[in-house]
Amino acid sequence: MPPSSVAYDAATLSILPSGSVCRVHLFRHAEVVGAGERLCRGHTDVALSPRGEAQTAAAAARWPGPYDAVFSSDLKRCTALAARLGAFHATPRLREQDMGSWDGVSWAELTDRDPAGTTAYWADYVTATPPLGESYGQVYQRVNAWWRELAPTLGEATNIAIVTHIGCIRSLLCAWTGMPAGEALRWAPGYATHSEVLLAEAGAVIVRFGEEAG
């Protein structure tokens, strides 16, 4: 069960009847260079902004662990924080959505260049695919397949951290709470935020969502 130092009400405990509970800390990476420009960002390995570097340090100081295991996207905006949380495992399966030929282009320019394509994308972002990229539905499948493969291997690791991107956080939270991928935009954690989820065989409990380091 959850650590004895944390008290849960009867309603919460009723959906966590399992004797094995995994506490997952989801971190979104900090602010990146050009964050205010509304660029379409995906697999491009963009650097943190000076503010993002400060946010990374603040997040690591507020939520230092220790963690039984730390997992991260292999992009440097995520590994910058993961490295501060402990030894970590990096994987491209935790990358943001592959935006293909749209990656690095502003949404304003994309709207001018390909108005039909961008309209179609936002009308059905789950299945619509940017040129040479992947749909959000594919991200959802990729990230949750990674989790399903990982979970049985965790063993005694019951307090883990995952440093990733907003699309991946949305995918995990939707799957864990039984929401379809089409509801993903309901989750909107900001840069350098922390969310905490308790996972048991019977379901998930969101303990904290979108906490800022300060």
pLDDT on residue 9: 65
The pLDDT value given to residue 4: 33
How many angstroms separate the CA atoms of 14 and 20, rounded? Answer: 14
Domains along the sequence of the chain with CATH = 10-212 (3.40.50.1240)
Provide the pLDDT for residue 187: 97
- What is residue 137's three-state secondary structure? helix
Q: Please tell me the distance from the alpha carbon of residue 67 to that of residue 104, in angstroms, as a whole number.
A: 34
Any idea how long the chain is? 214
Regions of the chain where pLDDT drops below 50: 1-6
Cα 115 from Cα 120, distance rounded (Å): 8
Q: What is the pLDDT of residue 117?
A: 87
pTM: 0.90
Q: Identify the pLDDT of residue 5.
A: 39
CA distance 30 to 164: 10
pLDDT computed for residue 11 by the predictor: 66
> Is it true that the peptide bond before 2 is cis, omega within 30 degrees of 0?
no
- Distance between CA 135 and CA 94 in Å, rounded? 15
Residue-level pLDDT at 214: 75
pLDDT at 208: 96
| Opening angle at CA 152, ends 169 and 148, nearest 5 | 40
Give the type of residue at 13.
L
